[in-house]
Structure 1
């Protein structure tokens, strides 16, 4: 019943990761002033129709190979769980089950590490945010406040490789991360920009390793399937694409959120609060995790007096600490303005954007201000999401903490007009930690992963100037991605149905 042998799926995922890394040299991001433009072979690949086509196909086919290997690994975990649950309860059966779990955990960890390693040396893919990190670090090094100055205030900013959208946009990151940006930039000041980018990628990869560690600790604490949790949190191709290749700092934010919850659950709420404060200092959206720490600290049976005192304590510790950090850096509490970032941009696939565009078009058709109507719809839905999050924290405060945290994040993310692929990882990580017990939740993980992968795979295609005049290349590449992902999903569904029929069990939980 094995889909692929362990060695085959391990090597398939590794080959996929290597293919993405090789393809990145044709379609990955390079700043206009980069010294890499002096490499004749690289310039030939990036400016020839055949080179760009092959590079784009390598990225897409590599991602599909990673997806196949990851799904095959997930199916093997389900199969092992079913086999391990059929013992008689003897000590030998218990030892066998423990050994099988340890083998599964080791395989997931080894796969995640090996599949991510080649992308440490790839050119940036799926996002240009690492170049923005460099630019903001240079703003800090120049004595400018990134909360009041956009990238355009920095001489030569465009040559770094920063997306022009950042020209007049203040940073959406917290004081801890802008301090890290300054440290990285000052440490690599005399070196090519690519080394600063590499340093940010190493920070993101370290964040992923830390996230995996605390996810594993919570899985052990809650009696979840540790391998199954890490299969979602660390080995997913969506994770590898966004937290390694793209180097997003969300891995650091999530690591400190999950670590904070872990310590709060282990009766160390002060340490947990400090962890959440650092997470807010990376990305202010982590602020919504603070009330959950207060609820854990107060206990499920606590009255409102105790809860309010705990909320006041965690808010004082976290916000007071961040105020001190901001003061020491000379940037104050400007990060609070970053909380408004989600309403300033949109993703075409976000429910709020889809509804806003529809309502705006309707108003435009009857002679009214469609743009204003669209903005009102977006703000109304985001307000509804925040209201739902507040309701969960207040009225459903006795829910299991990780379930409550997932609900709060989902309420705000799904109501936001912007949902980047790496935002999806916030929810998938928390879903894994609540225990993905049913077939619908596993389908949610797999289908969400595929959807956001496809969104991410289209990102590199707007960079290469060649594609502006030769639309056949992106059509071919996107077509291969769509057909391949559809085939993988159909194949995985057929395999799941076959296993349910042959083995005769209700789809077992992964956690």
Structure 2
């Protein structure tokens, strides 16, 4: 995934695929000029001449997800449009099953469109602007859909409404406030205090107030929540050209990896997750640090942490970039930059807390995600595997295994963060790259892992050099994460036949990134060669 994965050029063996030469990449966020549009660029040319096949295939997939999502997604308990109408069948019984099937068809078509777009990127037939315009078109139907594969946005609105009705969101869960906000929150989180930082509580509180003024219209509330989260997406896109150049990657590849990724389009945008705000603030902070705007950089990453605590892992790496821009002995520079960074952090975080009118009650609430038990978290997965393997020898609850392995996972996570921090002590772009590795380690080794958590590190690591083989692993992992939850937001991680089929399809998609005929079904099909290195 990272720079270490870059393949070394080798002489192809007999009968193997040849590789394309490495021509210069298209300009940042642009595509090769089309002589037919010289002097009179049309809309297609201004959008970078996106490939029509992936463009419209992905858009059609998004429309299917939108239509299917109104019946099979994270729908409202009392839908003001569909309930008690001729279309109400879409939310119940066979109608809901049909809507769910439509959503899975949309997922498959989106995956196909993403792989087809990836082939164009690897062959250098499209530039960054074409990838971006394609991804944006895919996202448009998502902006007005119900929450897809999750019910988290309802929790956001309820947690924002709690302080408006005199409740401390860090002390009580949504169930303390019966009403339309609470009705739609997933039962698992009804009595759980908010595990988010003061900035996010402030944002959620402000939008919940607007929603109440609009008659507590939950459809408007969800769409508005999603648009607010997309501010983070816009920030990430804005930083990508220069940050990718600094980290040594290729803009078209980076945009394909993270922006056009179905996890981004369907889970993060369609699911309206607040992780979008985190990655946006984090990316702008990293760029500010590399541009020697260190106070601003620490402030921005602190805001990301005030959204979700996991972003705080990047702060020590931002300080190292500051250290690298100072003069004098390393330890003295570390003390200077560290002291200033702590002062900025305290000022910004205190200001967020005062503005949101909350205290530090969110720190105990950070344990809330640990109530999630699934094997996407590496320590939890190993614990469950051990419990199953020893079930015939030792009769016990899986919880002791989970507790012990989570402690071990925490130790390994801290060691990975510390080791990468020390290796990045010279600062510069390497500190940003290693911050991405640290964030990925946090996502995978924390007590709980959800598919969209991996965006924390991937948003940064997308901008480093990638090998074609590394991109194949990315395709497999991304598409498998897409189906880790059912469209309604319930977990699918223990439906083993379903997961096996999905894993086989994801592996087929990964193979097809480099081989248009992955099963070798057509003897006459001409396989398109791809470069051994993507960037």
Tell whether the structures are fold-level matches, with TM greater than 0.5. Answer: yes
The 2-side partners of 1:39 and 1:120 are apart by 25
Which residue of the partner structure matches residue 57 of structure 2? 12
TM-score of the superposed pair, with normalisation by structure 2: 0.81
> Match of 1:425?
455
Label 1:385 to 1:314 Cα distance change in 2 as closer, same or farther (>3 A): same
| Corresponding residue number in structure 2 for 1:128 | 151
Supply the distance in 1 between the matched residues of 2:232 and 2:160 (Cα, whole angstroms). 19
| Number of the residue aligned with 2:70 | 25
Select which of 481, 484, 488 maps to 1:452: 481
User: Structure 1: how far apart are the matches of 2:339 and 2:280?
Assistant: 24
Structure 2 CA distance for partners of 1:105 and 1:368, relative to 1, 3 Å: closer
Gaps of 5+ in 1: 82-102, 468-473
Q: What RMSD in Å do the two structures reach over aligned CA positions? A: 3.1
Aligned-pair CA distance for 1:12? 0.6
2:333 pairs with 1:311: no
Report what 2:510 is aligned to: 489
1:403 aligns with 2:430: no
Provide Cα deviations, 1:9-61, integer angstroms capped at 9, x if missing partner.
21111111111111111202233244345342332112231x22321121111
Equivalenced residue count is: 474
Alignment of 1:53-68 (within 5 A): 53-68=97-112
Cα distance between partner residues in 2 of 1:27 and 1:66: 17
Report the Cα offset of residue 339 of structure 1.
Answer: 3.9
Q: Tell me the CA shift for residue 125 of structure 1.
A: 1.0
Task: Answer with 340-349 or 225-234: which moved more.
Answer: 340-349
Question: After superposition, where does 1:285-434 map in structure 2 within 5 Å?
Answer: 285-299=310-324, 303-360=330-387, 365-366=393-394, 370-398=398-426, 400-434=430-464
After TM superposition, list the pairs within 5 Å mapping 1:95-114 onto structure 2: 104-114=127-137
TM-superposed deviation, 1:257: 0.4
- Tell me how far apart the structure 1 counterparts of residues 437 and 151 of structure 2 sit (CA, whole Å): 30
Following TM superposition, by how much is the alpha carbon of 1:494 offset from its aligned partner in structure 2, in angstroms? 2.6
Task: Tell me by how many angstroms 1:168 deviates.
Answer: 2.0
Q: 1:76 aligns with which of 117, 120, 125?
A: 120
Residues 338-369 of structure 1 show CA distances to partners (whole Å, capped at 9, x for unaligned) of 44344332223322112122344567743566
Q: Which structure shows the higher helix fraction?
A: 1
- Of structures 1 and 2, the one with the larger relative CO (CA 8 A, separation 6+) is 2
d(CA) in 1 for partners of 2:91 and 2:132? 35
CA distance in 1, matches of 2:505, 2:527: 27
Relative to 1, partners in 2 of residues 1:53 and 1:164: Cα closer, same or farther, differing over 3 Å? closer
Tell me if 1:161 matches 2:174: no
C-alpha spacing 1:32/1:77, structure 2 compared with 1 (3 Å): closer
CA distance in 2, matches of 1:455, 1:373: 23
For 2:490 and 2:286, how far apart are their aligned partners in 1? 39
Q: Secondary structure at the match of 1:460?
A: coil
CA–CA distance in structure 1, aligned partners of residues 342 and 87 of structure 2: 51
Q: Could you tell me which residue of structure 2 aligns to residue 97 of structure 1? A: none
- 1:84 alignment counterpart: none
Q: What residue number does 2:228 align with? A: 203
- Between 149-158 and 5-14, the greater mean CA deviation after superposition: 149-158
Superposed, 1:464-503 pairs within 5 Å as 484-495=505-516
Distance in 2 between residues matched to 1:193 and 1:479, nearest whole Å: 37
Q: Given the superposition, is the C-alpha separation of residues 39 and 104 from structure 1 closer, same or farther in structure 2, using an over 3 Å criterion?
A: farther
* TM-score normalised over the length of structure 1: 0.85
- Runs of at least 5 residues in structure 2 that lack an aligned partner in the other structure: 1-18, 20-49, 521-525
